[in-house]
């Protein structure tokens, strides 16, 4: 067995480097790029990159639309960083928090030369690291990148597939709950060292028939501190109660906070909502898709637990589609309506109108 890092492990290391503000080298034969997160890059490192050559910033299509420009490479935009602009300009390109008070004014100089695969991978790493999806990129030659972690682009056919690491079952213990004393918590860990996910199994559900299940994404604000901006906490409570009353089932608790963008970006989205944007619009202004979660991880957990069919408690058709696509048959969609209040009425209306939730 090789002791070398797998591609998924290399990308996990890149994710950690991005969060620390450290650059990473992406290689394609003789071509090399140093890429770094626009959010975490320090001023001295920014100046160091600028000394190596012309700087570019890569942003997503949604962020480009917000800046009244366009994605010149399909789903991303590559924009030249003007020589008279510094790190503050780069961060303003990445962060929409001050867009209304001090909008970024173009025209921006787009970059068309060369391939955009390094830029696209850098944005994928930003997203998986729960950072703003914006990356600083500089093409280098020779030994300028010596000492930084390197990833060979030729080993990466599809970044999204690599970033979705496989899960392993780590541990199980009995945890009596208020709705059922007969409950066990299972912990699953991605093989790339990413965030762990959990399964709460109540009773002794049969593996030979569809199991009553809920695919629940972590929500610090709703699940833990009782936020009234969403319906997550009441849905979690109602799902556990329904499973207990049914006699057996599984609740999957996935660490995919804020529709997969992380808690820091979720708070950024909340701040944008206070400026008058809805949930989807806020995500787009940040540069994210409507929903960045990977529901296939839930299907993998169910498969590892021995299930191949579910009665899925959800109002989200995308979860049903993901389960079926992953080979976990959804025999029934069980509606789960809880937590409606006057403070989240607009939020729920947006989920129904723009995300197709059946409310």
- 236 appears as a binding residue in the annotation: no
Please check if 27 is assigned to a binding site: no
C-alpha gyration radius of the chain: 22
> Among 359, 341, 342, which residue's Cα sits nearest to residue 351?
359
The reply, when asked if residue 235 is annotated as ligand binding, is: yes
Please state, in angstroms and rounded to a whole number, the distance separating the CA atoms of residues 17 and 22.
Answer: 5
Q: Residue 317 in contact with residue 271, Cβ under 8 Å?
A: no
Whether residue 291 lies in the annotated active site: yes
**Closest by alpha carbon to 253, among 273, 230, 277, 233?**
233
Determine whether the annotation assigns residue 212 to a binding site. no
Is 169 annotated for ligand binding? no
Ligand-binding annotation for 197, yes or no, is no
Q: Which distant-in-sequence residues (6+ apart) come within 8 Å of 96 by Cβ? A: 63, 66, 268, 272, 285, 286
Cα 319 from chain centre: 16
The answer on whether 314 is annotated among ligand-binding residues is yes
**14 belongs to an annotated ligand binding site:** no
Q: Check the annotation: does 268 bind a ligand.
A: no
| 279 labelled ligand-binding | yes
Task: Single out the residue of 219, 167, 159 nearest to residue 326, CA to CA.
Answer: 167
Distance from C-alpha of 294 to C-alpha of 157, rounded to nearest angstrom: 19
Query: Using the 8-state DSSP alphabet, how is residue 4 labeled?
Result: S
Q: Which helix (H) or strand (E) holds 244?
A: helix 232-246
Catalytic residue among 73, 95, 192, 291: 291
150-152 sheet: strands from edge to edge: 76-80, 56-60, 134-140, 31-37, 24-28, 150-152
Task: Give the separation between CA 222 and CA 179, rounded to whole angstroms.
Answer: 19
325 is in an annotated binding site: no
Q: Is 127 annotated as a binding residue?
A: no
**Ligand-binding site membership of 216 (annotated):** yes
SS3 216: strand
Q: Is 192 tagged catalytic?
A: no
Give the integer Cα–Cα distance in Å for 15 and 121.
11
Query: Residue 69, annotated ligand binder?
Result: no
| Secondary structure of residue 181 in the 3-state scheme | coil
> Of 88, 293, 303, 346, which is the active-site residue?
293
Angle, CA of 298, 300 and 302, to the nearest 5° = 70
Q: Which residues are annotated as a binding site for GTP?
A: 214-218, 235, 257-259, 279, 314, 319
Q: Which residues are annotated as a binding site?
A: 214-219, 230, 232, 235, 257-259, 279, 314, 319
Q: Which residues are annotated as a binding site for Zn(2+)?
A: 219, 230, 232
Which of the residues are catalytic? Answer: 291, 293
């Amino acid at each position: 067995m090789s002791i070398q890092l797998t591609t998924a492990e290399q990308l996990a290391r890149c994710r950690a480097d991005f969060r620390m503000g450290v650059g990473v080298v992406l290689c394609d034969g003789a071509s090399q790029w140093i890429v770094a997160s626009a959010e975490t890059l320090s001023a001295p490192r920014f100046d160091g990159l600028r000394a190596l050559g012309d700087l570019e910033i890569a942003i997503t299509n949604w962020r480009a639309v917000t800046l009244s420009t366009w994605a010149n490479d399909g789903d991303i935009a590559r924009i030249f960083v003007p020589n008279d602009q510094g790190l503050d300009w780069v961060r303003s390109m990445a962060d929409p928090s001050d867009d209304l008070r001090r909008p970024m004014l173009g025209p921006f100089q787009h970059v068309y030369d060369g391939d955009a695969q390094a830029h696209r991978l850098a944005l994928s790493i930003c997203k998986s690291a729960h950072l703003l999806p914006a990356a600083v990129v500089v093409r280098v030659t020779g030994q300028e990148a010596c000492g930084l972690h390197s990833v060979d682009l030729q080993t990466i056919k599809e970044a999204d597939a690599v970033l979705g690491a496989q899960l392993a079952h780590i541990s199980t213990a009995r945890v009596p709950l208020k709705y059922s004393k007969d409950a066990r918590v299972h912990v699953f860990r991605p093989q790339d060292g990413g965030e762990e996910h959990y399964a709460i199994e109540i009773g002794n559900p049969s593996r030979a028939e569809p199991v009553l299940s809920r695919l629940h994404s972590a929500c610090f604000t709703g699940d833990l501190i009782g936020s009234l901006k969403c319906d997550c906490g009441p849905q979690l409570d109602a799902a556990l109660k329904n499973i207990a009353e049914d006699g057996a089932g599984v609740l999957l608790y996935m660490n995919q906070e804020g529709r997969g963008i992380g808690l820091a970006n979720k708070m950024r989205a909340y701040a944008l909502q206070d400026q008058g944007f809805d949930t989807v619009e806020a995500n787009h202004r940040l540069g994210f898709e409507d929903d960045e979660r990977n529901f296939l991880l839930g299907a993998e957990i169910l498969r590892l637990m021995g299930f191949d069919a579910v009665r899925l408690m959800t109002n989200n058709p995308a979860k049903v589609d993901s389960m079926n696509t992953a080979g976990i048959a959804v025999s029934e969609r069980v509606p789960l309506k809880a937590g409606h209040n006057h403070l989240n009425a607009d939020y729920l209306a947006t989920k129904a109108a723009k995300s197709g939730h059946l409310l």
